[in-house]
């Protein structure tokens, strides 16, 4: 049995608690957050604390807090020589206090409060200072997923910036497309199959080979028609910037 304490009350903390809740080989013995919030509807009140000094013994302490709070929380922990891990994609492992054993337990996925996730499909990126701790983190992550990777802080930061492109930026583009559809009374849901096919396609082929559209074809007439439809200057500039980026990568010019 791996005994875990989760520190934090955000989306990652809540989803991790839910994921561990039904695992027979993992016990979340306690949760810490400043407001004493429950992470799960079935969580017992006596497993929640607002006091660092009352933290119990555990094999792994998971800091599922904001990136800016990781170092501060790490320094406030009232013990030494325990395995402390954070869940951030971009924060180096060495921001954790060196009075404890340090590691990273990063589930590479987007988490929304009310959207359930399937942890069996989520890659876990792990890092630790020694083999024994890394083995323990692999054992813990393997209770949730088969996609487990040993990744350095530098590699994890590369993955994180790549994730911003494939998740945060693309979601902004989805939002922009939704705005355009709403402005012209067109149902955004008509685009759902295209969105799904685009995402599915790049799991089967190199994204370079999947690129289509008026930009790569250098279809100036279509590009100009599109720009006339867009009434928002930010949308127009975004369209121009992305079109130029596509043409630059694939050797064409406006």
pLDDT digits (tens, 9 = 90+) for 197-238: 999 999 999 999 999 999 999 999 999 999 999 999 999 999
Rounded to an integer, the average pLDDT of 144-157 is 95
What pLDDT does 254 receive? 46
Total residues belonging to the chain: 254
Domain contains 17:
yes
How far apart, in Å, do the first and last CA atoms of the chain sit? 61
Q: Is the pLDDT of residue 242 over 80?
A: yes
Q: Could you tell me how far CA 132 lies from the centroid of its own chain?
A: 26
Q: Pick the closest to residue 59 from 153, 117, 132, 146 (CA basis).
A: 132
Rounded to an integer, the average pLDDT of 147-160 is 96
The CA angle 189-193-196, to the nearest 5 degrees, is 115
**Both structure tokens of 167:** 């998740």
Domain contains 254:
no
Please check whether residues 132 and 212 belong to one and the same domain: no
Among 121, 151, 181, residue at a domain's last position: 151
Among 84, 119, 151, residue at a domain's last position: 151
Among 126, 151, 176, residue at a domain's last position: 151
Rounded to an integer, the average pLDDT of 32-58 is 86
- pLDDT over 70 for what percent of the chain? 99
Rounded to an integer, the average pLDDT of 15-31 is 92
Please check whether residues 239 and 137 belong to one and the same domain: no
Q: Pick the closest to residue 13 from 97, 95, 107 (CA basis).
A: 107
- DSSP E strand boundaries for the chain: 2-7, 26-32, 48-49, 60-63, 83-86, 101-107, 124-128, 148-150
Q: What is residue 138's three-state secondary structure?
A: helix
Q: Is the pLDDT of residue 253 over 70?
A: no
Q: Would you place residue 35 in the very low, low, confident or very high pLDDT band (cuts 50, 70, 90)? A: confident
Rounded to an integer, the average pLDDT of 126-152 is 97
Please check whether residues 53 and 17 belong to one and the same domain: yes
pLDDT digits (tens, 9 = 90+) for 81-113: 999 999 999 999 999 999 999 999 999 998 888
Give the global pTM.
0.87
What pLDDT does 180 receive? 97
Task: State the residue range of the domain holding 189.
Answer: 156-249
Please check whether residues 105 and 187 belong to one and the same domain: no
Number of domains in the chain: 2
Element (H, E) at 17: helix 11-21
Domain contains 166:
yes
Please check whether residues 184 and 244 belong to one and the same domain: yes
């Amino acid at each position: 049995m791996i005994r875990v304490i989760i520190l934090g009350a955000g989306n990652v903390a809540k989803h991790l608690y839910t994921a561990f809740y039904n695992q027979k080989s993992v016990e979340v013995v306690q949760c810490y957050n400043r407001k004493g919030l429950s992470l799960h509807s079935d969580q017992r009140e006596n497993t929640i604390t607002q006091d660092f000094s009352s933290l119990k013994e555990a094999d792994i302490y998971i800091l599922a807090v904001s990136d800016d709070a990781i170092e501060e929380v790490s320094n406030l922990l009232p013990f030494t020589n325990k395995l402390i891990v954070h869940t951030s994609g971009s924060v180096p492992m060495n921001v954790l206090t060196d009075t404890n054993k340090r590691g990273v337990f990063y589930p590479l996925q987007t988490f929304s409060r009310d959207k359930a996730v399937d942890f069996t499909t989520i890659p876990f990126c792990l890092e630790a200072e020694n083999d024994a701790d890394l083995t323990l983190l692999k054992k813990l992550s393997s209770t949730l997923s088969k996609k487990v990777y040993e990744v350095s802080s530098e590699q994890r930061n590369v993955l994180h910036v790549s994730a911003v492109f494939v998740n945060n930026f693309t979601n902004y583009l989805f939002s922009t497309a939704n705005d355009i559809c709403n402005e012209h009374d067109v149902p955004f849901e008509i685009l759902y199959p295209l969105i799904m096919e685009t995402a599915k396609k790049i799991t089967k082929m190199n994204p370079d080979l999947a690129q289509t559209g008026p930009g790569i074809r250098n279809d100036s007439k279509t590009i100009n028609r599109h720009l006339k439809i867009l009434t928002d200057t930010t949308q127009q500039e975004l369209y121009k910037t992305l079109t130029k980026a596509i043409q630059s990568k694939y050797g064409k010019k406006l």
